[in-house]
Amino acid sequence: MRISLASDSLDGVAPILISELEGRGHTVVPHGAVSDGRADWAWCCARAARDVAEGVTDQAIVCCWTGTGASIAANKVPGVRAALCVDAETAAGARKWNDANVLAISLRLTSAPLLREILDAWFAGSVSTDEADIANISYISEMEN
């Protein structure tokens, strides 16, 4: 899978994210501190989210200290459903019930072992085929129109 990756800093797990993703067989398109060092969270996380909306990449991972700014910026991009995930259970739910296509990570809260659990759950997950779940996701898309 092609994954855009954005972070506003090289704090916490940010430096190991590229190797974690490449180690899982993904191709990484980096933005912000993990690329050229530009570190505005709003800009780099929106940039990664736009990659997904434009079909340049399949999914994105966006990071900031809290994870909140990263998720807010990504969710401003139409077609993006970004989920701030602090554990594997949340990541599994975000894929299943929200069809989330952008994973937001808090660099403050996420240790390396926790990151691996979150990534495992995120990439193992797939969207629910339940009618009510699909209707909820459709409603989110309709709100963008």
Ligand X SMILES: O=C(CO)[C@H](O)[C@H](O)COP(=O)(O)O
**Residues labelled as active-site residues:** 64
Near ligand X in 25-44, by CB under 6 A: 41
Query: Binding segment for ligand X among 14-22, 60-68, 91-99, 127-135 (CB under 6 A)?
Result: 60-68
The smaller minimum CB distance to ligand X, of residues 65 and 97, is found at 65
Nearest CA among 24, 27, 36, 112 for reference residue 6? 36
Which amino acid is residue 10, in one-letter code?
A: L
Among 64, 80, 100, 104, binds ligand X (CB under 6 A): 64
Query: How many residues appear in the chain?
Result: 145
Q: DSSP strand E in 41-91: where?
A: 59-64, 82-84
The encoded tokens of residue 42 equal: 């709003």
Query: Binding segment for ligand X among 19-27, 59-67, 92-100, 132-140 (CB under 6 A)?
Result: 59-67
Query: Binding segment for ligand X among 48-56, 66-74, 95-103, 117-125 (CB under 6 A)?
Result: 66-74
Least distance to ligand X, CB of residue 108, Å: 8
Among 12, 30, 32, 69, binds ligand X (CB under 6 A): 69
- Integer Cα distance of 6 and 49 in angstroms: 9
Crossing angle of helices 68-75 and 41-53, rounded to 10°: 40
Least distance to ligand X, CB of residue 9, Å: 6
DSSP SS3 for 16: helix
Which amino acid is residue 66, in one-letter code?
A: T
Interface residues with ligand X (CB under 6 A) are 8-9, 41, 64-66, 68-69
